Structure 1
Amino acid sequence: MTFYPLASSSKGNAYIVSDGDTNILLEAGLTAKELRRRSPVPISSIDACFITHEHMDHAKCARSLCDKGVPVYMSEGTAIALELEDANVMESRETVNVGALRVMAFDTYHNTAQPFGYAIEDTHSRERMLFAVDTVNLNVRIPGLTEIALECNYADDLLGRLTKLPDKVKERIRRSHMEIDTAVQYLHKLDLSRVQIIWLLHMSSASGDAGRFLDRFEHEFPGIEIRICKE
């Protein structure tokens, strides 16, 4: 099972998970044209799309995908917020099978109607991935994880130094996005014995620091490859 990050920032989010036969798109926060340009597989070969929430940097071309006949999954709250009647609605902890890939939705914590994260399992290889972006924290525990793609948006000290950013915006960020200490603390609660790669998602260009974050995670999780998703 391979994870392809196509875009990961407030400008747009899109990621593909593939087992070589089945291709799943996580997030549709690019224009259809840009998605086609960045995708390692033709859009016609995307078997399903899973959206975490209604913000346009995650759902920009969701309607276009529905119009093309791609099954697009999300929570009921997200579907209502997007006014997307063609969406396939999931419940938290519900599982959907797409080819050999099994996708389970779980609750996350963001300033949106009903945000989800997803756990993806390759039923052939038994690889398991946790995917969660735009969430202030997490409570979910997925056993047997082999790969993790997790929001790591900012460091609080860097956010505090942004003198031109209004305090109310800083507080909104703190209430809706995951800070580096929170991400580290959450990961330490998990069984990481099978985890080979941790991807850091949605890093802020203003209050994140790729070099510092990479050093911190490599120190905290020795033996696990750490990768930072680029914009």
Structure 2
Amino acid sequence: MELTVIGSSSEGNAYVLQNEREALLLEAGKPFKQVLAALEGQVNKVVGCLITHEHGDHAGRINEFLKYALPVYASQGTIENAKIRTSWKPTAIRQTEDGNGYLPLTLGNFRVIPFATKHDTAEPLGFYIWHEETGGVLFATDTFYLPCKFKGLNNILIECNYDPEILARRVESGDIPAALQERVRRSHLSYYTCLDALRANDLTAVNNIVLIHISEGNGNPTAFREGIQRATHKTVYTAKPGLKIKFNKSPF
């Protein structure tokens, strides 16, 4: 299995997990033509597209994806706020009967367990994804903390958006308003909270940690990667457009 990063910033987010037979898309925040290029035109192997929330950098291109009649999945709250303009509609991810969780999805050979995240949107989600090639994959972005722990992790895509010290300095210098600082704190995962989330989970079998959605003005990609690599002793990447990684359960 291979992970391709199409985009991972406030300008647009999209990722592809694929092998020769099937592909799972994560987010719809970049032009579909870029995703199509990553698929080498093989749109028929897409088993689904998972969207975390309705903000434009994650769902702004959803209509382009739907025009290809792709199976797109998101929470009901996301669908209601994502400005759908096509006859082909996304599928709502259903909550459990008790309302305390979400029903799992089977998309081709991918098994997906959605979970609630903490963001300033209607009904944001993260996803635990399992495939026999990748093992357990955590995909978590745009959340100010992770409310869950996860078993059986082999690969991780996790937001590492900002450094609180950089954010505070920018407010002090007048570069950004204090209100924006509060909004970032209440909607995104900081470097330190990202590190805490990783430490809270068993990383023994993890092969790759990919830091996603790093803020251009409030983050430090090199420092984030080096710090988390020292703390976890794992292979750590910062997501950039065009990055491709072997995303397998076995490191070999």
TM-score range, shorter chain: over 0.9
Distance of 1:38 and 1:145 partners within structure 2: 25
Alignment of 1:147-226 (within 5 A): 147-162=155-170, 163=173, 164-222=175-233, 224-226=234-236
In the alignment, what sits opposite 2:105? 96
Alpha-carbon distance in 2 for matches of 1:5, 1:211: 18
TM-score of the superposition, structure 1-length normalised?
Answer: 0.93
Q: Answer whether contact 1:2 1:18 (CA < 8 A) is retained.
A: yes
Q: Which runs of 4+ in 1 moved over 6 A?
A: none
- Distance change (3 Å), C-alpha of 1:118 and 1:13: same
For the pair 1:134 / 2:145, whether they are aligned, the reply is no
Unaligned runs of 5+ in 1: none
Superposition CA RMSD, Å: 1.6
The number of residues matched between the two structures is: 229
* SS at 1:146 equivalent: strand
Q: How does 1:77-92 map to 2 (within 5 A)?
A: 77-84=77-84, 86-91=89-94, 92=101
Asked if 2 retains the 8 angstrom alpha-carbon contact of 1:22 and 1:98, the reply is no
Distance 1:25 1:195, change over 3 A: same
- Are 2:4 and 2:38, in contact at CA under 8 Å, matched by a contact in 1? no
Greater alpha carbon shift after TM alignment, 15-24 vs 144-153: 15-24
Name the counterpart of 2:237. Answer: 227
Residue 116 (structure 1) aligned with residue 116 (structure 2): no
TM-score by length of 2: 0.86
Q: CA deviation at 1:40?
A: 5.2
CA 1:181–1:203 in structure 2 vs 1: closer, same or farther (change >3 Å)? same
- Structure 2 distance, partners of 1:40, 1:210, is 29
Deviates more, 1:178-187 or 1:63-72: 63-72
User: Which has the bigger relative contact order, CA under 8 A and spacing at least 6?
Assistant: 2
Instruction: Please list the CA deviations of residues 38-92 of structure 1 after superposition, one character each: whole Å capped at 9, or x if unmatched.
Output: 5555334322100000001101221222222100000000011114371101134
Deviation digits for residues 1-40 of structure 1 (CA, Å, limit 9, x no counterpart): 3322111000000001124321010001012233334555
Q: Which runs of 5+ in 2 are unaligned?
A: 95-100, 242-252
The percent of aligned pairs where both chains have the same amino acid is 32
CA distance in structure 1 between the aligned counterparts of 2:22 and 2:39, rounded to whole angstroms: 14
Query: Does 2:50 correspond to 1:50?
Result: yes
